[in-house]
Every structure is written in structure tokens, then in C-alpha cells.
Amino acid sequence: MTSVQYDATTVALQPLLQSFEGFLGFHAAAVVDGGLQINETWVSSDRYRTWISEVVATKVPAEAVAAMQTTFTPLHNVVLSGTAVTA
């Protein structure tokens, strides 16, 4: 996905992301060689996969979804706005 495609779709996706069950409120996008690197914090990889299949895949170009390379890193601790979250 290009940064232009990202900017066009994030307007619709951001409000949905903020209220999606399992999203812990952290999303960051960076332009890197070959596209974008997006980092997010979720309660589980299953909730993230549900977000991708039910929402993202319906709003972004299919080739962008097919090209996504996803890596999961289990977290030991998360603090959001001063509140600890069990990960």
C-alpha cells in the first residue's frame, strides 16, 4: 500500500479501529522502502485477524491486503494513559 492509498483509507478506518473490540489504542504508520510499516497493539492476534478480515479487507485494495506481511510479538506489559492492561 502506498502512503497515498493509506491516507485515503485511514479516514474511514480510524473511527472503526478506535472502537473495534480488542484494539488497545496504539496505531503508528511509517513510510518505509516498499510501502508502509504499521504497528498496532491488540489484546490478541485473533482480534487483529478479525479486524483485517472483517474491516480492512473490505476497505483497501485486495492487492494491498494480499501483500501484507504480519509479525506478532507477545507483550509482557502494556500501559495506556496510566492504566496497566493485562496482555
The arithmetic mean of pLDDT across residues 44-59, rounded, is 96
pLDDT value of position 60: 87
Burial of 42 (0-12, 13-18, 19+ CB in 10 A): buried
Residue 57's closest CA among 7, 3, 13, 8?
13
Given a cut of 80, whether residue 75 has pLDDT beyond it is yes
Provide the grid cell at 41: 497493539
* Structural domain boundaries in the chain: 3-85
Confidence of residue 29 (pLDDT cuts 50, 70, 90): very high
Burial of 69 (0-12, 13-18, 19+ CB in 10 A): exposed
Task: Answer with the residue of higher pLDDT: 41 or 81.
Answer: 41
Query: What is the Cα–Cα distance from 8 to 12, expressed in whole angstroms?
Result: 8
pTM: 0.83
